[in-house]
Amino acid sequence: MPLGLGRRKKAPPLVENEEAEPIRGNLAGADMGPFGLAAMQPGLPPPPPGLRPRLVFHTQLAQGSPTGRIEGFTNVKELYGKIAEVFKIPGSEVLFCTLNTHKVDMDKLLGGQIGLEDFIFAHVKGQKKEVEVYKSEDALGLTITDNGAGYAFIKRIKEGSIIDRIQLISVGDMIESINGQSLIGCRHYEVAKMLKDLPKGRVFVLKLIEPRKAFDKISQRSGGGKLGTSSQLGTGRGTLRLRSKGPATVEELPSEFEEKAIKKVDDLLENYMGIRDTELAATMVELGKDKKNPDELAEALDETLGDFAFPDEFVFDVWGAIGDAKSGRY
């Protein structure tokens, strides 16, 4: 549908001075590829389950454990279930996973890509906390993300913010409830909106669950930096690309153009919508890199990401960002 002709308008951002980043993805079976796993061939059915290559990852509990092997999962929730089976704990105990480090390092959060040789560390529930917060400013200084399986947690704390001044609250803390309202099953943007809508000048109560601490008692407040888009996770030659819809695929590391374009589009998402989402940005770049004009990009976005109802001005800026990256105007 041409720009400006009946395209739905996006509502105002849910979060103005707070950010949110989702963690979500599918690991569905795919045809054989160059690394023994990957890519879907258009128009061809996947091979029978018995003939599909096995994707095996190694895992440990972040606080220390023997090494386990997991396979046979098709999405993040099933991944947590497999981890729980290996370590004989309830699946509900897993808060989130980091790649190649046991620390609560949000730059290594399991997100849109997993290197084929990445080692998965699972962070499980630790101490429960209840905190009263006086909302003296509109912005609390939080970045909220979720684990893709029903838990929202703190990804970043802005220095000097309301939350930064409360030492009991740390990066990695799961937000269990706000003023007694359970947040189990909520997505990151729902939690962020609730926090934004809390009235200024009043006290609210957060119930939190921190990740169980590792043996070295590392500091969790220092781990809240922005998710880096310029560095690639993993040690393998390829990465497993997780998608919100459709199967995962094994791909070569992104080209310089793709890296820069994803960064630019991710910045636009933050400016227009108050979220950062590298998976969403990568999908938009993939949809737009071969399009000839903004109208074709708009149609592709409507077809694949219609639920977001991106406004026309945002689509124009995305088109420009992809074009700049193609031309080397970084």
Rounded distance between C-alpha atoms, residue 325 and residue 110, angstroms: 26
Query: Does the pLDDT at position 215 exceed 80?
Result: no
Query: Does the pLDDT at position 237 exceed 70?
Result: no
User: For residue 226, what pLDDT is reported?
Assistant: 38
User: For residue 5, what pLDDT is reported?
Assistant: 47
Segment 122-138 mean pLDDT: 96
Query: Does the pLDDT at position 115 exceed 50?
Result: yes
User: For residue 156, what pLDDT is reported?
Assistant: 86
Of the two residues 267 and 237, the one the predictor is more confident about is 267
User: For residue 208, what pLDDT is reported?
Assistant: 98
Which phi and psi (to 5°) does residue 231 adopt?
-105, 150
Among 94, 207, 71, smallest CA distance to 146 is for 94
Mean pLDDT comparison of 55-69, 139-153, 278-292, highest-scoring range: 55-69
User: For residue 164, what pLDDT is reported?
Assistant: 95
Q: What does DSSP assign to residue 230?
A: S
Of the two residues 279 and 87, the one the predictor is more confident about is 87
Among 96, 46, 84, 112, smallest CA distance to 220 is for 96
Give me the percent of the chain exceeding a pLDDT of 70: 69
Out of 136-140, 143-147, 171-175, 269-273, which region has the weakest mean confidence (pLDDT)?
269-273
Give me the percent of the chain exceeding a pLDDT of 90: 43
User: For residue 41, what pLDDT is reported?
Assistant: 42
Segment 165-183 mean pLDDT: 96
CA triplet 63, 67, 71: central angle to 5 degrees? 115
Query: Does the pLDDT at position 135 exceed 90?
Result: yes
User: For residue 245, what pLDDT is reported?
Assistant: 56
This prediction's pTM: 0.67
Name the strand (E) or helix (H) holding 326.
Answer: helix 312-326
